[in-house]
């Protein structure tokens, strides 16, 4: 069972990385809606896996991950300054399509709701 300190550190890293994403000047990470979906930190704080998703799809997320990998030294240094950690974990970025997937599910559910409303109106008119 993870400790409370590890959970707090994970959430702090997620919050600060989200803020740092807006400050990056890399063109691969700009002009797109990026979101940090999940952050996993090892127990000894040596590695931190960051799952990144883009609204534009998995290909754009993979492009953004390349930009984030090249800026990982800057991000790690800024995390160290902002969180005052003794040891800042090495950042590993991975692309995921969870935003696109959830938007697709939402679209499907919305279409189902429209279909039920049309059936309900047809039943009510008779």
What CATH architecture does domain 4-97 belong to? 2-Layer Sandwich (3.30)
Q: What is the pLDDT of residue 126?
A: 46
Helix, strand and coil in the chain, % to nearest 5: 60, 20, 25
Q: CA–CA separation, 112 vs 93, rounded Å?
A: 36
Kindly list the distances between the CA atom of residue 66 and the CA atoms of 52, 87, 107, in Å, as whole numbers in the listed order.
11, 24, 29
Q: What is the pLDDT of residue 99?
A: 78
Structural domain boundaries in the chain: 4-97
Does pLDDT of 124 surpass 70?
no
Residues in the chain: 126
Cβ-based burial of 74 (10 A; exposed 0-12, middle 13-18, buried ≥19): middle
Query: Please, which pLDDT band fits residue 97 given cuts at 50, 70 and 90?
Result: confident
Q: What is the pLDDT of residue 67?
A: 93
pLDDT of 39-86, one tens digit each?
A: 999 999 899 999 999 888 889 889 999 999 999 999 999 999 999 888
Q: What is the pLDDT of residue 98?
A: 81
Does pLDDT of 101 surpass 60?
yes
Cβ-based burial of 116 (10 A; exposed 0-12, middle 13-18, buried ≥19): exposed
Q: What is the pLDDT of residue 50?
A: 95
pLDDT of 13-41, one tens digit each?
A: 999 999 999 888 888 888 888 889 999 99
């Amino acid at each position: 069972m993870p400790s409370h300190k590890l959970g707090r550190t994970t959430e702090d890293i997620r919050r600060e990385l989200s803020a740092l994403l807006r400050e990056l000047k890399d063109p691969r990470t700009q002009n797109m809606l990026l979101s940090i979906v999940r952050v996993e930190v090892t127990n000894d704080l040596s590695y931190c896996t960051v799952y990144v998703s883009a609204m534009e799809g998995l290909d754009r997320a993979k492009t953004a991950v390349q930009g984030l990998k090249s800026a990982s030294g800057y991000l790690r240094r800024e995390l160290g300054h902002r969180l005052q950690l003794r040891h800042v974990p090495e950042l590993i970025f991975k692309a995921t399509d969870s935003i696109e997937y959830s938007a697709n599910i939402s679209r499907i559910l919305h279409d189902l709701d429209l279909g039920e409303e049309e059936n309900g109106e047809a039943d009510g008119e008779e």
